Structures are given as structure tokens and as C-alpha cells.
Structure 1
Amino acid sequence: MKKKTALARREALLALAAALAGGCAASAPTPTPAPPSGTVRLTLLHLADVYQVQAVEDGQRGGMARAATLRKQVLRETPHVLTLMGGDTLSPSVESLVEVDGKPLKGRHMVDAWNAFGLDYAVLGNHEFDFGDDVLRERIRESRFTWLGANVRDGKSGALFAGVQATAVRELGGIKLGLFGVVLQETKATTKAGKDTHFGDVCEAARGAVAKLREQGAQVVVALTHLTADQDRALTRCVHVDAVLGGHDHEALEDRGTGTPIFKVAADAVDLGRLTLDVDAATATVRQVTWQTLPVTRQVPEDAAFVAAMQPYATLFSRLSERVGRTPVALDARASQVRTQETNLGSFVADAFRAAAGADVALVNGGALRADTVLPAGGVTRRDLHAILPYTDELVVLEVKGDTLRAALENGVSLSREDSRPGRFPQVSGMAFTFDADRPVGQRVLGVKVGGKPLDAAATYRLATLSFLASGKDGYDMLKNQPSTPARADGNSPLDVLAEAFRTGTPSPHAQAEGRISRLGSGALSPDARQPPAPLK
């Protein structure tokens, strides 16, 4: 036993000495075993839902400059490597609202970052369309990598969206690797995609893409998707591929349950995914599929070339650390909460909008609130502000009848039984309502009060909301074409309004949810569950 202990201690000391001697070698990914004899190893590096260049979690995790270091270490280790991105990067980027000459970046910096990173292929994400088709086309033209989107077409010409490919074939080590990309079909309803941009059936597009790839000689096929995990599983049942690399869910996933491996990485480059395919050199059959996630932490040094390429943005990004105000209480901005129930952040934002507009009521969709964390009490920075509301929207006032307001709430809770964290879930001000998620769609809202009085179906109410919802997006068709005026004569944006509330302390956020939204049936919360948790570490 003593000999084993002494040997283990000696090996540990030798490992430590080697790490110190190697400088940053301690942060290098663990080398994978050599490929089996007679095989060609293909390596696909994967990131998805990367909304900012800089690190997250107070600098502890993520950062594209660090991920670039890990990428180069893998490139030195193995010869046949492609770098892929699973969609959602132009928006809702915290940094996309930073202005240059009075105009927000709108994802320009993210394309520059991916160009510097060495990205090979990206699939369109639903949020690539948040700034509209024209901005997306401009970003695609600026890209030195290829965008994929087999189910995104121009409704007029029938062609693919301008600058996008359905498929791609790359020969690596004598093996022809085929890639195709597909994105959520509901993107049309949840973004600012143009009226002539259509998102076709995912399964149909995938079948066509795979057939095309096989015609082009692809021997191994990988799907690059921006879908929910359930939609990825459905994809593997309708078409045969060797692996799926996905985005959209923001959470890590390794699922081999359908027989086709599906892999996802967490959002904002906190991990770099590494998919290894060992392919038989003679038959082009995939013998082994290995998945590894490489943590992107502050122990990983930043890549100097990437940092130099992004230097023009350094001063702009420094503005994000400016303090804009404070909050006396922790604010619950977690997606799992703001998209399913009342939260103190949702109520605070709705209160600020209603006060700024002088409206009777306010409604904000939970999907507009993007920070996905618990913001601690204390100072609020511009980064925090942009994280909460990273979209370019207008605050408007609609004149709506009571029955229209009820219909809007019905739409807001219409997907509450779905396990999809629907972005349409309403956060409200000036009103309270009860709903039962177990009742049929259209019958879920059981009671509504405005200003403490029962809703009058025939009365007219002034509703403060975002222009996105006023245009009928996210299922809010009943708000489309309602009499509308800008909420502020000074032209202040929703972001300006929220900044003013943080600066002045008026309105002031509450410590917890107040019971504006009561849920019956499945998913109903106890009063204790309304208390926000401690801020995330």
C-alpha cells in the first residue's frame, strides 16, 4: 500500500511539473486515443447559440477568444477538422445593441468574430431573422463561412434564401462528408422574417437534402440543426444520418436513444463540443462516434490572433460595463420562469412600460426577456440592461376592447401545457388573471381584472406593449391592425424606458411575484415557489 501511495504521489508531482513547464499546456484538451487501424478520423468542433464575443458568468466561463485557443489545439492534434455553429448568434446578442455612429451593430461584430474564429459552416437560427431579411442578407454577404438552411426559401422565386446553401460536401482524408442545415419551421411567427420568406417542413427538406448529398457522393452525412431536442429526435426517424449536431435548446445534450446520436452544447461558448467520427477507410462506414465537451474557462488563455482581430470593438464593448442604475431586490430573469409564470422581473418591466405610456394595462411576452439568470440586488450595468431586453423594438399603445385583451391572454397561455417554454407567455401590469392549463385552448383564462375590477368585454383599454406583438407575432394576431400610437413622444425605446426605471427607482421592483397571474391545474405553484432563488453563482 505504501509503495502504491508513493508511486501515485510521484506521478502527481511529475504531472504537475510537466504542466508548469508547459505553460498553458495544463488547459489543453485531453488527447483522444489514436484512431483504429484502417479508419479515417473526422473531427467536428461545435458551438451554438453564441450571443456574445466576451466571456459570461462574470468572466468565469465562455469567451470566443478562449474557445479559439481550444480550437487551435485540436487542429494541431488531428488533421481532418471542421468547425460548425448551430445557429442563433446575430440576435439576441447583448453586444448587438451597442451603437456605432448612432446605429446598433445588429450582429456585424458576431460575423467578424466567426470570420476570425475560423468557422466553416453555420445553420441559420430563428434569431438570425430578428433584424429582418435585409440585415441578414448583409450579414451573410460579410461571412467568410457558409450558411446552411435547406428549409428556408424565397416564396416568390422558390429559391433558397439569398446566400444560403441547402447542403455542402467536403472531402476529408479521402472521405466525402455531407452536411445539411434545417431551422425551426415556427421561425416565421416568432421573428421579423419577411413576408416572402418561408420555412418549410423540416422532414421534407431533410429528405431532399440527404438525397442530394448522396447524389453528390457523400459517404457520411451529418445534420446541422436549429431545432428542439424532440424535433431532432423526429428528424432521425424520418431520414438516415450518421449524427445530428443541434442548437436552440441552450442546454448540453447527448442522446443516442433513437439509434442516431444527437449532440448539443450549452449556449454562449461555455463548452466547445468535439464530435469524433472514425470512418472505415475501405467501406466509408462509421465505426465509432465519440462526443466530448471541452470546458471554456478562465484557465484557457485567449488566442492572441482572435483578440487582435476583434480589437476595433474593444472600446465599444467596454461601454457595457457602465452602470445605468440599481435594483433593490434580486430579479428573476430565468427563461424557465419568465416563459411559464409571473416573475418579479416580468412585472417590473411591464410596470415600467405602463407608467411610461400612461396606459391602463401592459403586456410583455416572456420571450422578450432574455437574461436567463437571477440578477442580484445592487448595481445594474448596461450589459445587464441589454441582456434583459436585447431586441430592437418600439413601445406602443394600442386601443383594444376587453374581449381582445382576453384573447391576447388566451394566446399567451395557449402553450402552457407544452414542454417548450413558450415565448408568448404574458407578463402583465395593471391587471390580474387566472388560468387553468388543463382546459382546452381558448377556454383557459377564467377570470381577468383590470384595475381591480372585472374585465368589461365591450370597454376600451389602453394597452402598452412591444411593436413585435402589435404586429401579430408570437400568435398575437388579435393585436394586429388595432389603433396604435407610439408610447413616448420623445421617441424613447423600451430599452431607454427600462434604463430610466433602474436609474430613478420608479417604478420599483417587488421582491417576489405578487399574484397577478394565478395558475390552476397542472403546473400550479405554491406561494413559496414564487420567491426568487438566490442569484446564480
Structure 2
Amino acid sequence: MPRLLHYSDIENVYDDPVRVGRLAGAVRSLDGPDAVVCGSGDDTAPGVLSLIERGRQALDFFRAVDADVETFGNHDFDYGPAAARDLVADAPQTWLSANVFDADGERFAGDHVAPATVIEVDGARLGFFGVTDPATPSLNPMAGDIRVTDPYEAAAEAVASLRERDVDYVVAVSHLGGGDDELVRRVDVDLVLGGHVHAERRERVTGTPLLRPGANGHVIFEVRLGDGIDVVRHETGDAPVAEDVVEALEGRVDAAGLDEVVARVAEPLDRSEETVFGGECRLGNFVADAYRWSLGADVGLQNSGGIRNGPPLSGDVTVADLVSVIPFEEHVVRAEVTGAELREIARESAASVVDFGEPGWWHGHFSGLSVRWDDGSDELLSVRVGGEPIDPERRYTIATSAYLLHTDHEFPTLGERHRAGEGDIQFEVLAAYAREFGVGAAVEGRVRRYGADEAESALRGESE
């Protein structure tokens, strides 16, 4: 019986050598001549060690698990197209991409990347193809001049070519996130190994299994292809440790000189997905406060997706810890907006407004600004700056990530036209603020979300 071993979005797993050792050990313990090891993107970045080594730390893991196929996630371009080409050229697995191209229309890294491939295993012919979110150039400013075409048209072409090669199964290796549903509605595939969205998923749409193992290597899926398609979920926390992987990665973060202690945290700051995307949280407040302080702005703004999941900040907090919170080489910038635009930016914190990520997510963390939101009617109840109602005609300054001026997927009201200045790199700002003020942020009621029966009393309280 052929089997597939699926991981995705392992991102900052490399920052903990034992954790990546357990992930590698889990894959090895399940591997065999009847198995194909598959990754579905964002398996090279972001993270602290990834930032230091430009994604190449992933090669140690890929070689250790004898990876077979991989596709591109948006973060696999975090260090630019040239770094991605070099990494792909040195990686052991076959990289699959039906819809990523260079600016001249040639397939990206064409000598090392194919739209589709066939692997014969345990008496079966398995056809694989790869697709990437077409929003990647918007989601990642470092993606440069790459072109990402319509994934569904590219998938249809790849599937047709695989069917002509008389395969027993067609498997999509996808970094489309929520686009996987549309993929199976439009294209005849037998299975989707997905990624991009960090929430786990194991369900069928139009009869086709759609899988996402979540982020950071905590889970891998074992897919058994027999009379039907069966899926077994494996947690990696208790897996045997691949000691050779630990030895290969151990000490490489410390060697980069990021071990300076900048603050001490008495009460751990949680950065789980549930906390960061749930509304106001201590870590989000800390980041937004640091941005606002660094540029003397009216408002600080941090997008939830820019805060990477990981273990809580606790005890001695080092520069490396703060890099792990936001492991990107992007600057904090000053934007100048009208009061009307600022109100719209606050409204765009709700997933229901921007249609980005999972339903119910909250995308904005603020400093100097308070928001009241009605979850029942998806309505902004009030916004205040410095405790005062927004003046629609007044101009306000926002300190935020340069990324939010680039992308149109989060806070689309913000754009490059609003840029009015630039500060230091994000994690440098966090470290400077932590040295000065510590990391003792509290939840203060900056963001309050109400059910339908609470909204009226909330508004009445605001006016009293």
C-alpha cells in the first residue's frame, strides 16, 4: 500500500534543534520503501535561524528525512528569488510548481523545478503537481519579479498531463490555503496535501480529501492509498529524536550573537494562534507600543499574521527571542492617513471585512487607539485615538511594518502613497524598546469585541 508522509509550514521549527529533531525522527520512523515524503510550502522560512542562514538551514532537514517532493510557499521567497533558486538547486527533493514563473515567462528555477512528476511506489503510479497562492507577490515584498499565474488553470493542465501518463492517483501539493476548496471543485484530483493556513484541516470537499497538518512541525499526516484513502494523524512531540539533525543545527542561533538578554518577563507572554488572532493580547500590545514609541506616531499597528507562533516569551528575553516574534528584515515605517482612513483601517482588523485567514480572526494590534467591534453584525462601533473620537478630517500618523504598505491582503486602505518616513528593522525596534521599558505589556481594553446583545450597552458606555 503506497503511503504519503505530509508536513507543511514548518517555518520556525529550526530554532529549536530538539523539536526539529523530533519532527525528523517522526518522519523517519514512518518512512519506508512504500512511502513518499511530501512538503507543501513554507518549509524554509521564516524563523531566527532561517533569517541568519537565508533559508538554507532547511537543507539539513530535507536531507535527513530524504524528502521527495515540495512546492513553494510565499515565505520560501523571504530572501529573494536568487536565494530561492540557489536553495532549490541544492535541495534533494523534486520541487513542483505549475504556476510560478520568472518575469520573462520562463518557469522559475526551471532546471530544478517541474510542474508535475510521477513517482512509482509499491506497485502504484502516483502523479504529483504543485501550485502556489497567486497572491504571493503581494504577500511577500521579497518575491521580487516572480509571476504567479492562475493556479486552477495551471492545475487543470498539469492534471491532464498526469492522467495521460496513466497514473493511479493525482495528488495536488498545494500552498493555496483556502483556495484548496476551489481547486477540488474545478480540477479532477484525488487528494490535496495543503498548507499556507496554519489551522489543521482533515476533511472532504466534493468527496476529495483536503489535508493541512498545521504549522511548525507539531503534526504530520500519514496518508494510506489503498482501496480508499485513509489518513492517520501523528503528533511529533513524543517522537524519537534524530540526534544527527540536532547536532547539525545546535548552536547555530547562538553563534550569530543574538543571545543578549534585553528584558525579563515574570508572567509569560503567550503567542499561540488562538491568542494572537483572538483580539487584543499582551504580545500584540508590546509590539504596537514599540513601533509607536520608535517613531513618535499617534498610533502603532501590528498585523496578527506578522507575529509568528511559538513558545511563550518567559524569563530572560534575548534578541533572538524577539527576532523569533517577527523574523523579517522589514522596517518600521511612518504612514500618514486621514481620520476617515484610520477608521477604515481599524474596521479592516476583522476577518469578515477583509476575507483573509480564518473566520473570526482579528488582524490588528494597536497602540494609542481603541476599537469597539460588534461580532454579531460585523460592525465597527467606535474608534478612539488617545481617548478621543477620531476626527475624519484630521491627519494621523501610524507606525507599522513596511509590509502593510506593500500588501493589499491585509489593511488594504494602507498603501505606499501613505509612507511618510522609515525607522529601524522591526526586531531592532522591539529590542530597543525592551531595553528601555521591558516586556511587561498588559491587556487594557484596546480591542473589545461584543456579541449582538452587548453592542448597544457598549455604545452607551462609550458615550457616558
- The aligned amino acid for 1:199 is V
Residue 51 (structure 1) aligned with residue 15 (structure 2)? no
Say yes or no: does 1:343 pair with 2:281: yes
Match of 1:90 among 44, 63, 68: 44
What corresponds to 1:405 in structure 2? 342
Q: Quickly say closer, same or farther: Cα 1:66–1:524, change in 2 above 3 A.
A: farther
Mapped to 2, the partners of 1:316 and 1:402 lie a distance apart of 43
3-state secondary structure, aligned to 1:107: coil
Q: Report how far residue 369 of structure 1 moved.
A: 0.9
Aligned: 1:484 with 2:420: yes
Deviation at 1:520, TM superposition (A): 4.2
Q: TM-score scaled to structure 1, two decimals?
A: 0.75
Supply the distance in 2 between the matched residues of 1:493 and 1:119 (Cα, whole angstroms): 34
Aligned residue for 2:231? 291
Equivalent residues of 2:134, 2:150 under 8 A apart: yes
Measure the CA separation in 2 of the matches of 1:338 and 1:214. Answer: 43
Q: Deviations over 1:442-500 (max 9, x none)?
A: xx44433222222222222222111111334434353322242223xxxx422122123
Structure 2 vs 1, CA of residues 294 and 438 (structure 1 numbering), >3 Å: closer, same or farther? closer
Q: Which string of whole-angstrom CA distances, capped at 9 and with x for unpartnered residues, describes residues 138-178 of structure 1?
A: 32233232222223234x43333334322111222443211
Distance 1:447 1:316 in 2: 44
Farther off after superposition, 187-196 or 447-456: 187-196
d(CA) in 2 for partners of 1:469, 1:130:
15
In the other structure, the counterpart of 1:159 is 106
Q: 1:375 to 1:416 in 2, by over 3 A?
A: farther
1:228-307 paired onto structure 2 within 5 Å: 228=177, 230-256=178-204, 258-278=206-226, 287-298=227-238, 300-304=240-244, 306-307=245-246
Q: Distance in 2 between matches of 1:369 and 1:404?
A: 24
Contact kept, 8 Å, 1:46 with 1:274, in 2: the verdict is: yes
CA contact (8 A) 1:323 1:381 kept: yes
Given candidates 332, 354, 379, the residue that maps to 1:395 is 332
Cross-structure match for 1:184: 133
* Residue identity in the other structure for 1:107: G
Percentage of identical aligned residues: 32
Residue 287 of structure 2: SS of its match in structure 1?
helix
Contact 1:274 1:294 in 2 (8 A): yes
CA-atom RMSD, angstroms?
A: 3.3
Counterpart residue number, 2:391:
456
Equivalent pair of 1:437/1:521 in contact (CA under 8 Å): yes
Deviation at 1:192, TM superposition (A): 1.8
Match of 1:127 among 58, 69, 75: 75
CA separation in 1, counterparts of 2:270 and 2:253?
Answer: 28
- Contact 2:171-2:189 at 8 Å conserved across structures: yes
What is the distance in 2 between the residues matched to 1:416 and 1:95? 35
Match of 2:24 in 1: 68
Q: Figure out how many residues of one structure are paired with residues of the other and give that number.
A: 452
Please name the residue that 1:42 is paired with: 2
Report the equivalent of 1:429.
Answer: 367
- Give the 3 Å change call, closer, same or farther, for CA 258–405 of structure 1 in structure 2: same
Who is 1:468 aligned against? 403
1:333 is aligned to 271
Residues 495 and 523 of structure 1, relative CA distance in 2, 3 Å threshold: farther
1:519 maps onto 2:453 in alignment: no
Is the deviation greater in 258-267 or in 419-428?
Answer: 419-428
Q: Deviations over 1:40-90 (max 9, x none)?
A: x2122221111245475x95xx42x33334444444xx4232211121122
Aligned to 1:496: 428
The residue type equivalent to 1:431 in the other structure is L
Alpha-carbon deviations, 1:80-119, whole Å to 9, x = none?
A: 322111211222223223xxxxxx3221211343234311
Q: Aligned AA for 1:342?
A: E
Shift of 1:294: 3.6
The 5 A counterparts of 1:87-236 are 87-97=41-51, 104-154=52-102, 156-163=103-110, 164-192=113-141, 194=143, 196-228=145-177, 230-236=178-184
Following superposition, the deviation at residue 436 of structure 1 comes to 3.7
Query: What residue identity is the alignment partner of 1:157?
Result: D
The equivalent residue for 1:28 is none
The letter for the 2-side match of 1:495 is F
Q: Distance in 1 between matches of 2:305 and 2:122?
A: 44
Match of 1:11 in 2: none
Q: Deviations over 1:388-425 (max 9, x none)?
A: 11221101222333233233223333635856168882
1:109/1:473 CA distance change after superposition, 3 Å: farther
The alignment partner of 1:67 has SS state of helix
Cα distance between partner residues in 2 of 1:328 and 1:394: 29
Q: Please tell me the residue identity of whatever aligns with 2:300.
A: A
C-alpha contact (below 8 Å) 2:12/2:45 kept by paired residues: no
Identify unmatched segments of 5+ residues in structure 2: 458-464
Answer yes or no: is the 8 Å Cα contact 2:22–2:241 preserved in 1: yes
Following superposition of structure 1 onto structure 2, how do residues 408-419 of structure 1 map, counting pairs within 5 Å? Answer: 408-413=345-350, 415=352
Instruction: Please state whether the residue corresponding to 1:274 is helix, strand or coil.
Output: strand
Cα gap change, 1:302 to 1:162, in 2 (>3 Å): closer
Alpha-carbon shift at residue 180 of structure 1 (Å) = 0.8
CA contact (8 A) 1:185 1:199 kept: yes
Amino acid at match of 2:418: Q
Amino acid in structure 2 at the alignment position of 1:452: G
